[in-house]
Structure 1
Amino acid sequence: MNDTATDVSRKQAWLMAARPHTLPAAAAPVIVGIGFALHEKQFAPLPALAAFIGAALIQIGTNFANDYYDAVKGVDTDERTGFTRVTQSGLIAPNEVKRAMYGTFLLAIVVGVYLVYVGGLPILVIGLASVISGIAYAGGPFPLGSHGLGDLFVFVFFGVIAVMGTFYVQAASLVAAPFLLAIPGGTVTMTAFLASLPVAAISTNILVVNNVRDLENDRKAGKKTLAVLIGYRASRGEFIGMLALSYLVPIYFATTSAFGLAVLLPLITVPYAAMITRTMLTKTSGEALNPALEQTGKLLAVHAVCFAIGMTV
């Protein structure tokens, strides 16, 4: 146990383990999914609420898994410059964090029972894949985050699937009977996929900032994140490319007859995004990138709210 453990209460330690600053990554896809559902006149409040609770639980469970597995595998060390990890620092015993991880994923599955009732077999498949991937991100014989697949995992599960799934359960609850075995028409569309891309992109950038900050420590520990594999320059290019995608989609929507000019509302966040980008292009220290990590989460939240509002006007 290091000195950090003597200054932190148990409640504070569990909050640190849950990482509430990452919850925008759970809320943002639900917000956009609701905005798109309102645009399509398919809004259903109970499925939307259940989707948010399930997404938040999967996010927290993934955080517990990352904290636990990175500690027991020796990835997290005292040299790490990021936010305090409770397992590595001795704030919470490893077995307790592990039990919390499984308990949180179990709660997500319980919430998922209702979503399966509404959305049927497709939601069952998506839900189980999300839980398994959340554990496999840092654990198991082939941890995704340690083999350069973390960015893809976040893009797909916390972006594309989360947004489209939120829209799907709302639309399915209105157009079809419970316990579906197939996907009803109009519930999975190309427009819904495009609407998911900004959330997917900025959610991925949260991980990019995290991995650029931890690049040297991860390299020493043998954790092959995408940032370790491609280096600082390409990681910064990935960050800029993801940001560009998050603004190109609203611009494209504005050129179509289906949406009004209000869909351009996310562009008000460009100056804030530019500020974060300047830090990303010039800094590598935890002192600089820890604030940038929180700022990217805030960017995700504000961008999602603006995009959702823009789609409904």
Structure 2
Amino acid sequence: MNEDNVRINSFKAWVLAARPKTLTGAAVPVLVGTALALNNAGGAIRVLPVVLCFLFAFIMQIDANFVNDYFDFIHGNDDETRLGPKRACAQGWITIGAMKKGLVLTTILACVVGLPLVWYGGSEMILIGLLCVTFCFLYTTSLSYMGLGDLLVLLFFGIIPVSMTYFLAMPVGSQAITWQVLLASLACGFVIDALLLVNNYRDIDNDRKAGKMTFVVRVGKRNAELAYLFVGITACMLGLVHLFYGNILAFFLPFLYLIIHVYTWREMVKISQGKQLNAVLGKTARNMFVYGVLVSIGLLL
């Protein structure tokens, strides 16, 4: 979407603030969890909770983007030295008061959409939902400054969404979380963590200056480059579990993802710094989606 001539608090401004390109990170875990359920239930899954999981994931991702936009701006992190994509508050597209109302509304909407899942998964779903909302705020306001972002990605973009989507989609009595589901969810988390790694790799100097001790700041650029390569390889190797469950293609197809992941890694290392890394960020988001589709196809075939 063209970022020129954006009117304050307009529909276009809110769409830009929602950062549609980041929604692949919300979709992929639910996609993988659904494919696992379809595979293990022979296609006889519960459709409505899957739809609700997708909606909840999308809204929570948008909510996280609003929270990030709002708090980074009021903390002064989105200044003229920022290298990442433009932010709505910093650009003046959305006023601070409007963004505050927007993140409150999206939080409430996510809770409303997620509440019916209690019918399918029991009262434990309330706790899961509260954890998602709480850590959505804690990540931006404190935990990202402590270098815990990557761990949160493994939990909230891997283990929790994949496992819970599978659990809610499966017929009653067949909802046990198997090793296949657990390791597949962990693999999904590693794939999505590549996005956070390249984001923090680009911002290492600004983060260090702001006292934001991300994993990349702690280990340095060279080790961060190796970590980016590592998460893609590890995700594919965790796919070995699919072989033990008779899903041969679910193991082999993701190696097509690994090829483009390695090419993206090489581009990241070559560029090393500056706004050009935003192109690597976009390609990493594409790679995540490719991974989700390939694993899902492998499970369904």
Give the gaps of 5 or more residues in structure 2.
Answer: none
How far, CA to CA, are the matches of 1:235 and 1:55 in structure 2? Answer: 28
Aligned to 2:182: 193
How far, CA to CA, are the matches of 1:6 and 1:273 in structure 2? Answer: 32
Q: Do the aligned residues in 2 keep the contact of 1:167 with 1:187 (CA within 8 Å)?
A: no
Aligned to 1:161: 160
2:230 equivalent to 1:241:
yes
Q: Deviation of residue 153 (structure 1)?
A: 0.9
How far, CA to CA, are the matches of 1:253 and 1:190 in structure 2? Answer: 9
Task: Kindly provide the amino acid, as one letter, of the partner of residue 177 in structure 2.
Answer: V
How far, CA to CA, are the matches of 2:115 and 2:249 in structure 1? Answer: 39
2:249 equivalent to 1:284:
no
Aligned to 1:179: none
Q: Deviation of residue 306 (structure 1)?
A: 0.8
Task: Kindly provide the amino acid, as one letter, of the partner of residue 175 in structure 1.
Answer: V
Q: Deviation of residue 15 (structure 1)?
A: 1.7
Any runs of at least 4 consecutive aligned residues in structure 1 with deviations exceeding 3 A, and if so which? none
Q: Deviation of residue 294 (structure 1)?
A: 1.0
Q: Deviation of residue 67 (structure 1)?
A: 0.7
Aligned to 1:14: 14
Aligned to 2:287: 299
Structure 1 SS opposite 2:272: coil
Q: 1:1-313 maps to which residues of 2 (within 5 A)?
A: 7-9=5-7, 10-41=10-41, 43-139=45-141, 143-171=142-170, 174-175=171-172, 186-254=175-243, 256-313=244-301
> Relative to structure 1, is the Cα distance of residues 32 and 257 closer, same or farther in structure 2, using a 3 angstrom cutoff?
closer
How far, CA to CA, are the matches of 1:124 and 1:46 in structure 2? Answer: 17
Structure 1 SS opposite 2:86: coil
Task: Kindly provide the amino acid, as one letter, of the partner of residue 265 in structure 2.
Answer: T
Task: Kindly provide the amino acid, as one letter, of the partner of residue 150 in structure 2.
Answer: D
Task: Kindly provide the amino acid, as one letter, of the partner of residue 277 in structure 1.
Answer: W
Structure 2 SS opposite 1:137: helix
Q: Deviation of residue 287 (structure 1)?
A: 3.1
CA RMSD of superposed structures (Å)? 1.8
* Worse overlay, 58-67 or 280-289: 280-289
Q: Do the aligned residues in 1 keep the contact of 2:183 with 2:241 (CA within 8 Å)?
A: no
> Relative to structure 1, is the Cα distance of residues 132 and 69 closer, same or farther in structure 2, using a 3 angstrom cutoff?
same
Q: Deviation of residue 190 (structure 1)?
A: 2.0
How far, CA to CA, are the matches of 1:252 and 1:170 in structure 2? Answer: 21
> Relative to structure 1, is the Cα distance of residues 125 and 104 closer, same or farther in structure 2, using a 3 angstrom cutoff?
same
TM-score (normalised: structure 2): 0.93
Q: Deviation of residue 216 (structure 1)?
A: 0.8
How far, CA to CA, are the matches of 2:3 and 2:242 in structure 1? Answer: 50
Q: Do the aligned residues in 2 keep the contact of 1:279 with 1:288 (CA within 8 Å)?
A: no
How far, CA to CA, are the matches of 1:226 and 1:147 in structure 2? Answer: 8
TM-score (normalised: structure 1): 0.89
How far, CA to CA, are the matches of 1:74 and 1:150 in structure 2? Answer: 20
Aligned pairs, number: 296
Q: Deviation of residue 187 (structure 1)?
A: 2.6
How far, CA to CA, are the matches of 2:169 and 2:14 in structure 1? Answer: 33
